[in-house]
Amino acid sequence: MKSDKFGLVILAEGGPGVLHQLTGVIAAHSGDIASIEIVESQPHSRIYFEIELPGEAAALQSDLMALSIVKNVTVVENLQKIYGKRIIIMGGGAQVGQVAIGAISEADRHNIRGEHISVDTIPLVGEQQLADAVRAVSRLPRARALVLAGSIMGGEIEIAVREVRAQGLLVVSLNMAGSVPDAADLVVTDPVQAGVMTVMAVADTAKFTVERLKRRVF
C-alpha cells in the first residue's frame, strides 16, 4: 500500500504523558513518525508531527480527536514539500551575506523549476560557538548542506566538520586560513560562487555532483 507523508498540528492539554497518548494512536494506525516538534507548551501544547501513513489521514485525525486531552487536529502539508532541503550558512556576517546572495539566487532558479530549497543564515564568531553550531546542523530537520563562511576557522571547528561529514552532511568552506578547508568536501574562494555551487550540489534539477569533480578547491 502506498504511504503518504503529511504533517499534523495537534493542540492538546499540557502535562506528563501527552506524547505517549498521541504516539500510541499514531502507532495503532501504523503511522511512521519522521519528526516531532513542540511548537508551544503553554497554556496548551501545540505539537507538530510529520508522519508517513498507509492510506488516508482522516481516520487517524478522528481517533486523535477522540482523546480527551486533544482540542484540535489539523492536517497540513509536510515541511519537506513546502520548504524542502535546507542549506545552512554560518560564519562572519559579511562573508555569510555574500554566500547567501549566490545561494538564494541559485535556489530561486531551481525552485521555479519545481525544486524545493531553502537557505538559512547565522552570523557567528568564536571557535567553540561555531563548533557547537556545526554539530547542531546534523540535528536540524531537512539540512542537506553547510557552508562555512569566514576568514579563519580551525581547531574544534575542524573536528566538528569531520563529524557531520561522517553523518552524510555536505560541507562547503570558503578558501580561508585555518584547517577547516582541509576537512571540507568542497573549497570555494569566491563566496557568491560558493553559494551557487552548494545549491547545485543538493538540487535534483542540477546535473552536478561533488563526487564527479576532479578537484575540490576552486
What's 183's domain CATH number?
3.40.50.10550
Of 25, 60, 79, the last residue of a domain is 79
pLDDT tens sequence across 63-101: 999 999 999 999 988 887 788 899 999 998 899 999 999
> Do the Cβ atoms of 131 and 164 come closer than 8 Å?
no
187 part of a folded domain: yes
pTM: 0.80
| Whether residues 104 and 35 fall in one domain | no
| Whether residues 208 and 100 fall in one domain | yes
Question: Does residue 2 register a pLDDT over 60?
Answer: no
> Do the Cβ atoms of 75 and 24 come closer than 8 Å?
no
- The pLDDT, as a whole number, for residue 1 is 42
The Cα–Cα gap between 181 and 216 comes to 10
pLDDT tens sequence across 157-216: 999 999 999 999 999 999 999 999 999 999 999 999 999 999 999 888 877 777 777 777
Cell numbers for 136: 547542531
| Whether residues 200 and 129 fall in one domain | yes
Of 37, 52, 79, the last residue of a domain is 79
- The pLDDT, as a whole number, for residue 80 is 78
pLDDT tens sequence across 93-138: 899 999 999 999 999 999 998 889 999 999 999 999 999 999 999 9
| Whether residues 52 and 103 fall in one domain | no
- The pLDDT, as a whole number, for residue 37 is 86
93 part of a folded domain: yes
| Whether residues 46 and 73 fall in one domain | yes
| Whether residues 103 and 51 fall in one domain | no
| Helix or strand run (H / E) with residue 87 | strand 85-91
168 part of a folded domain: yes
11 part of a folded domain: yes
217 part of a folded domain: no
| Whether residues 36 and 140 fall in one domain | no
Cell numbers for 45: 501544547
Q: Please choose, from the candidates 34, 69, 71, the residue with its C-alpha nearest in 3D space to the C-alpha of residue 53.
A: 34
Q: Total structural domains in the chain?
A: 2
| Whether residues 122 and 72 fall in one domain | no
Cα dihedral 171, 124, 38, 59, rounded to 10, equals -30
Of 55, 79, 103, the last residue of a domain is 79
Domain that holds residue 31: 3-79
| Whether residues 28 and 95 fall in one domain | no
Helices 191-202 & 93-112 angle (0-180, nearest 10):
40
Please list, in sequence order, all residues whose beta carbon lies within 8 angstroms of the beta carbon of residue 197, skipping any fewer than 6 positions away.
172, 186, 188, 208, 218
What's 46's domain CATH number?
3.30.70.260
> Do the Cβ atoms of 154 and 179 come closer than 8 Å?
yes
The Cα–Cα gap between 95 and 174 comes to 9
| Whether residues 158 and 207 fall in one domain | yes
